[in-house]
Structure 1
Amino acid sequence: MDKNGTETFNSILEYISPELSKKLWKVPDYIKKNAEEIRLRKEKPLMIFGGGTEYFLMNEGSVSKKEKGALITTHEDLVRTFQLISRYSVYAFEEEMRSGFITLKGGHRVGIAGKTVYGIKGIESIRDISSLNMRIGREKKGISDNIMKFIIIPPDSIFNTLIVSPPQCGKTTLLRDMIRNISNGMKEYDFRGLKVGLVDERSEIGGVYNGVAQNDLGIRTDILDGCLKSDGITILIRAMSPQVVATDELGDYKDINAVHEALKAGVKLISTVHGKDIEDLLSKKSLSWIIEEKIFERIIFLDNSKGVGTVRDIVEGYSFNSVLNREKY
């Protein structure tokens, strides 16, 4: 068991060029524990991001919040790292690269930036790699346990739920754990597990690698990996008869139309969206539809005021009154 999070950090180092990974092994454990990203940019300092703080890697393996003396990522570092990520077969990962990332064993993802090559069908590949963002996948089981009582309707239903947060405030991590609880059931609440259909468009939730989810999403969850939400929701409803459909990051009108199709089929929904508060959501045209229509019966707001994934409030979708603070008082 990875008790302090350092093993999770170390597991991604096998995909980084040996010259860099030797120094990254020396990074202090307190940094490894909270690290979320390792960023490699051509001829720029190597940076580690975690817990809301950026660190520069020094030549001897220490870290600093200041750029002076930082280790510079070379062209050779990027080439060698990309070879390890793609297992020396770029063609095997061309489909993933069209989406701008590659998923690694363990659920880690590598974001890719460089020269975008277009063809008849759109983006064909990314060449002349200039940046690699090693996003460290961290599964945190149990983080949703205390809020599930606001989401489930025993014995066999849930409220349509929307998780709202700014970037990197833990909404995907929370969604993942909520899916696990909904899928497995919760005896303490006399709640039976439900069939969950997950549309994992960005491969962030399940972290599917070679057809196997690297994260625990429960025993009743079916995953459409790398599929557009607008397509995936319809496919799941037709093929897998889910009781709950889960997605990450609702955005355009196609996503919203797919949500309406799910509602027509009597399926419950759980999803996420970027935002700060109700006013922020209402200011976005596509999202204002579903907020004003009261589709989501529970809205969870996250921030990082007390650390990543802080549940700031849970409100009713009908009245926007807090159900979290109601219980506190």
Structure 2
Amino acid sequence: MAHDWLLLFPEKVRALLRGLPVLLLDKVEEIRVREGRPLEVNYSGKYHFLCSDGSMTQSPGEAYKPNREDTHRLLDLISNHSLYTMEEELRKGFITIPGGHRIGLSGRTVLSGGGVEHLRDITGFNVRIAREMPGLADSILPYLVDRSKQRIMHTLILSPPQHGKTTLLRDLARQISSGSRSGRDGSRPGLKVGIVDERSEIAGSRRGIPAFDVGPRTDILDGCPKAEGMMMMIRSLSPDVLIADEIGRPEDAAAVTEALHAGITVVASAHGKEVAELARRPGLGGLMEHRMFERYVILHRAETGLSFRILDGQKRGMLQMVPEDQAGSDRHA
């Protein structure tokens, strides 16, 4: 089923979503369900409210407002009728379900020892739809390859939330693992790839089997904290390339440093708009200071598609590309 994520939703909400045009369903990125408040659908960086007749509006007063039965049913469906088995997810504030779809939760926090123990009275849900985009990395990967040594360079991908970091990592994993007999980056052997998939979003694994194509020579540690997972990979799975999403804590930086010293390439992502922001962060500042990364890929969303810049390890521009119908072609920075 092309839109199997629709089965996550209670019957009334599902029926409204099914009424949307197929081409729009293919673009949906987020669906926000808030009890007693307008049902929201986001796609291509835009938001709309969904009405009871299936039409979309910018007026919140005209929108369908999910009731308590809707939110209780949604929580039941996403927890597979066993909410008590998801205590760790409730403590973190999100649930990742098969297919890599991630559901952020809001409600009342229960504290213990000064920290969040779990959530209760959950009435808000942000369902983020995960998708494959084969070929997304085509224009980027050639700039990450050291042709003289037939290796991938240490790379950090940077963007605000929902600008395509995870989707790009997924396609990079596939292409690096598969190798290439021809193409813009020339002939390139497939490499052993290790994915530390803390939130189960990159590979979308279910019972250890990835839902997405992440390549034939790829091993995945699903649901594993990034720092610990990277060390486990280094010790036991001997990857050529380590891939991790949303690094930033000091322990993440320590694991990245250990991997680099072990001769393993790291391709990771982090939240941010510009490279300069990273230097002020405790976890990433040291990596920047010691020039651990050889490439920076900065993603930006444009109405007409993905826009990106590539910088070298000294933060000098190498390439800037914007969608063709916005600028006509790529240009060098």
| TM superposition score normalised by structure 2 | 0.89
Choose from 137, 155, 163 the match for 1:161: 155
1:182 is paired with a residue whose SS is helix
- Specify whether residues 28 and 306 from structure 1 end up closer, same or farther in structure 2 by C-alpha distance, changes over 3 A only: closer
Letter of the 2:134 counterpart: K
Aligned to 1:216: 213
Is 1:316 equivalent to 2:316 in the alignment? no
- Give distance in 1, aligned partners of 2:285 and 2:270: 12
Choose from 163, 167, 171 the match for 1:173: 167
- Cα offsets for 1:184-230 (capped at 9, x unmatched): 11111211111111111121111112221111111111111121111
- Give distance in 2, aligned partners of 1:213 and 1:324: 32
Letter of the 1:176 counterpart: R
1:115-264 equivalences under 5 Å are 115-118=108-111, 123-154=116-147, 156-188=150-182, 189-264=186-261
Aligned to 1:14: 7
- Give distance in 2, aligned partners of 1:179 and 1:288: 26
- Specify whether residues 323 and 132 from structure 1 end up closer, same or farther in structure 2 by C-alpha distance, changes over 3 A only: same
2:139 is paired with a residue whose SS is helix
- Specify whether residues 79 and 306 from structure 1 end up closer, same or farther in structure 2 by C-alpha distance, changes over 3 A only: closer
Aligned to 1:44: 37
- Give distance in 2, aligned partners of 1:148 and 1:298: 11
1:179 is paired with a residue whose SS is helix
Letter of the 1:39 counterpart: R
Aligned residue-pair number: 320
- Give distance in 1, aligned partners of 2:216 and 2:9: 33
Letter of the 1:91 counterpart: Y
- Specify whether residues 119 and 226 from structure 1 end up closer, same or farther in structure 2 by C-alpha distance, changes over 3 A only: farther
1:304 is paired with a residue whose SS is strand
Cα displacement (A) at 1:38: 0.7
Cα displacement (A) at 1:33: 2.4
- Cα offsets for 1:1-52 (capped at 9, x unmatched): xxxxxx64x3222121112111111123343222101111111111011111
Contact 2:251/2:283 (8 A) holds in 1: no
Letter of the 1:50 counterpart: Y
- Give distance in 2, aligned partners of 1:135 and 1:167: 11
Choose from 277, 290, 299 the match for 1:293: 290
- Cα root mean square deviation, aligned: 2.2
- Give distance in 2, aligned partners of 1:78 and 1:266: 49
- Give distance in 1, aligned partners of 2:129 and 2:264: 32
- Cα offsets for 1:262-288 (capped at 9, x unmatched): 112111110011112222222334322
2:53 is paired with a residue whose SS is coil
- Which shows bigger deviation, 124-133 or 12-21? 124-133
Aligned to 1:4: none
Aligned to 2:324: none
**Structure 2: stretches of 5+ with no match in the other structure:** 322-329
- Specify whether residues 283 and 236 from structure 1 end up closer, same or farther in structure 2 by C-alpha distance, changes over 3 A only: same
- Give distance in 1, aligned partners of 2:113 and 2:301: 43
- Cα offsets for 1:279-324 (capped at 9, x unmatched): 222233432221221111011111013545322x111113x22222
Cα displacement (A) at 1:118: 4.6
Letter of the 1:25 counterpart: R
2:130 is paired with a residue whose SS is coil
Letter of the 2:82 counterpart: S
Letter of the 2:287 counterpart: I
Letter of the 1:179 counterpart: A
Cα displacement (A) at 1:114: 2.1
Choose from 42, 60, 65 the match for 2:58: 65
**Structure 1: stretches of 5+ with no match in the other structure:** 1-6
